[in-house]
Amino acid sequence: MRQTVVGVFDRYAAAQHAAELLQDRGIEPDCIHVTSNDESGSAQSSRTQDVDDDRGLLERVRDFFAGVSDDEDVDTYSEAVRRGGAVVKVDVDEEPQMEIACSILEQAGAVDIDEQASQWGELGGATGMAGSSGTSGLTGVTGTSEPTRQRGARSTEGEEVIPVVREEIAVGKRAVQAGKVRVYAHMVEEPVRESVTLREEHAHIERRPVDREATAADLDAAQERTIEVTETEERPVIEKTARVVEEVTIGKEVRHREETIEDTLRHTQVEVQNADASGTSGSRAYDDYADDFRTDFTTRYEAQGGRYEDYEPAYRFGHSLRGDRRYAGRSWTEVEGEAQRDWSTRYPDSPWQRFKDAVRHAWERVTD
């Protein structure tokens, strides 16, 4: 089912930047829509615009959100745009894309529209806005126009609920131009030189002195007559023929390569600590031990090429064990097996043998 994610920004430039980030993560440009008071982002925050302008803006925003948001939300978005802000609307078909869009809009600086609406109310209300809209800075909207609002901790009568959120990564790919190859074919002239042997025939006349008695043959030969000798010579003849000596084939060779993508994913970690009768926690907070844990990391793992960000969850996990009733009053030897099972459930991709020393250090440091 097609879903829509909406982000509200203080400035048009920030909204445009968010749209560029969305395209970089593989979301089609046709699915990304940006609206503001004017496309240059120069909308004024004053309230000197006349009523007709406000009504026109409200109608434009209603058209922008046609079929995906209720009137109350549209009024709020209209007020945000009227005050100089901009709204980014992203249409997605898959759940992973919706999570990516939410994450990118949040990172790009989408504002908390609840807080904004509250401030507007304190300043004397807003034209075209019916009270507080109840939407958040990022609002996921289903294709049935029923808004799915993202909240922090929610409460019901008699209980408090903390949602545990885990980010997931979806790696896509898109084709980009990496270069061009042009092949030109044209004729060029190249001088050549060849040697050839030519034959010539020339008449050769020789007079030789002779002293002998003339014979009848000599007398016959002495009669009047004409003898012609034809002289010949060879001249070079040039004949050119064209032959194909090579073929140049133009095509594309497809190669595949693997590239490792590195990113950081966040997730909610809930720490449970026992409290004494006065309501004070029985052990100090994690931040009180942060310097000690970083020193332990530097001593044990930094020389091996590890990163503190990889080992910090282990220190937090060991610290949290102190507040778990199951491990109260027990030694490390007694709790290690259960701690390993809890760790493998929570961090299935992180081997216990690699991180158990960090967990144990945090456990012993807190219990001490």
DSSP letter for 118, please. H
pLDDT for 199 equals 92
Task: Kindly state whether residue 128 falls inside one of the protein's structural domains.
Answer: yes
Residue 100 has pLDDT above 70, yes or no: yes
DSSP letter for 110, please. -
Residues in the chain: 368
Task: Kindly state whether residue 207 falls inside one of the protein's structural domains.
Answer: no
Domain finish residue from 151, 185, 216: 151
Name residues whose C-beta falls within 8 Å of residue 183's C-beta, 6 or more positions apart in sequence: 248, 250
Confidence band for 158, pLDDT divided at 50, 70 and 90: low
Domain finish residue from 100, 120, 151: 151
Task: Kindly state whether residue 80 falls inside one of the protein's structural domains.
Answer: yes
Dist CA 77 CA 86 (whole Å):
9
| Owning domain of residue 328 | 286-367
* Count of the separate structural domains present in the chain: 2
Average pLDDT of the chain, as a whole number: 76
Residue 123 has pLDDT above 80, yes or no: no
Tell which wins on pLDDT, 58 or 16. Answer: 16
Task: Kindly state whether residue 182 falls inside one of the protein's structural domains.
Answer: no
Domain finish residue from 151, 176, 198: 151
Task: Kindly state whether residue 53 falls inside one of the protein's structural domains.
Answer: yes
pLDDT digits (tens, 9 = 90+) for 58-83: 666 666 666 555 556 777 777 878 88
Task: Kindly state whether residue 140 falls inside one of the protein's structural domains.
Answer: yes
Task: Kindly state whether residue 118 falls inside one of the protein's structural domains.
Answer: yes
Whole-model pTM?
0.33
